[in-house]
Structure 1
Amino acid sequence: MRKLAAPLAALMLAACGTKPPEPEPTVEVVPETEPAKEEKPVLSNSTLKYLANRKLKPQPTRPLNVKSRCSHTDEIGTRMRLDLLVKNAEVKTFAAQVTMKEHGACRFDLEDFEQVEKLPQPLLRHKRAGDCTVRMWEQGSHVTIAFNSCPSVCEGKAFDYLWPIIVDARNGRC
């Protein structure tokens, strides 16, 4: 047994003294791919599908300039009077009165409002009724004056029937 013990011990010591070979680093070859083609986004909303192929351009952001002094009565008897002057997005004059037959009237006067924004759109906020706002924006050759949350400025249920006022910026007509 002693004869076997000596070679076995030498073999064990030899095994401990040598390092195991390190594995060779492997280089992964990635196949070349073609550049990705631009794909049009998939539009899920049906409205966006109709707009996708049109050549629509964004409205430029520029200071609003409009002057109008007009009055208009429509077919159902709604009367509207407007006195408006906006220079470089600053509202200088604003007085609007819209009377809806059998529903009452809404009156807007610049004295009751403060201008809180100029760009991208002039925005007026009522001094006492904080939710009431008047926003003006240009769309092509027309300027829209829209009213939001202003029932306190109107009599009766007139605000429920109030539509935006549209002015032709070229000639000031309502």
Structure 2
Amino acid sequence: MRAGWALLLVLLAAGCAEVEKQPEPVVAAEPEKEAPPVSSEPKFKNSTLKYLANRNLKPQPTRPLNVKSKCSHKDAIGTTTQLDLLVKESLIKSFSAQVTMKGYGACRFNLKDFEQVEKMPQPLLRHKKDEGCQVRMWEQGAKMTIAFNSCPKACDGDAFSYLWPIMVEAKSGRCF
């Protein structure tokens, strides 16, 4: 038992001992080299972007949007969406949307109140009387998104604060 205590005491003393600091080696300056060839892999400075670098992400192709949808959907919390949409070659032919948020009111959008100001890369509608109000549409894989920006006047009360984009399956026209 005394040998165990003695060993412990020696180990503790060794842990407290100071070690001489070794001088840092002097590195001779290397002659300047030509800049390395530009790599196809971009160098990311932002820590968030570096996590995306090794993924096989490809940009969404820029092509005219074509979608037809006449759908209605009710989600688990009682939000009801009704949509009538026809877009051909990024030209919006018909658009009518009503989103009713249970307990908050409804938002209504109709093509007659908007003018189309852009076709590519995304169709963009701007409200005729309220310039800040815009409706954007874009493709995301097999789905199409309809987003509403700065349109509180199209909604009852504070309903615009609870308005989410409408997603549409491009092939089936189903909305959610």
Q: TM-score range by the shorter chain?
A: 0.7 to 0.9
CA distance in 2 between counterparts of 1:124 and 1:42 reads: 37
Superposed displacement of residue 50, structure 1: 1.0
The residue aligned with 2:64 is 63
Answer yes or no: is 1:126 the counterpart of 2:132.
no
CA distance in 2 between counterparts of 1:41 and 1:90 reads: 36
CA distance in 2 between counterparts of 1:70 and 1:107 reads: 15
Answer yes or no: is 1:138 the counterpart of 2:142.
no
Superposed displacement of residue 34, structure 1: 6.0
> Aligned residues: percent identity?
69
TM-score (norm: length of structure 2): 0.77
CA distance in 1 between counterparts of 2:172 and 2:62 reads: 21
Answer yes or no: is 1:74 the counterpart of 2:75.
yes
CA distance in 2 between counterparts of 1:58 and 1:116 reads: 24
CA distance in 2 between counterparts of 1:76 and 1:54 reads: 35
CA distance in 1 between counterparts of 2:79 and 2:51 reads: 35
The residue aligned with 1:36 is 36
Q: 1:1-174 residue pairs with structure 2 within 5 A?
A: 36-38=36-38, 40-174=41-175
Superposed displacement of residue 47, structure 1: 1.9
Superposed displacement of residue 59, structure 1: 1.0
1:123-143 CA-partner distances (Å, limit 9, x unpaired): 000001110000000111100
1:39-89 CA-partner distances (Å, limit 9, x unpaired): 554423222011111121111111000000100011111111000000000
CA distance in 2 between counterparts of 1:126 and 1:101 reads: 25
Which residue identity is paired with 1:64? L
CA distance in 2 between counterparts of 1:89 and 1:117 reads: 9
1:83-102 CA-partner distances (Å, limit 9, x unpaired): 00000000001000000011
CA RMSD of aligned residues (A): 1.8
CA distance in 1 between counterparts of 2:60 and 2:120 reads: 13
How many residues are paired up? 144
CA distance in 1 between counterparts of 2:66 and 2:165 reads: 18
| Counterpart secondary structure, 1:152 | helix
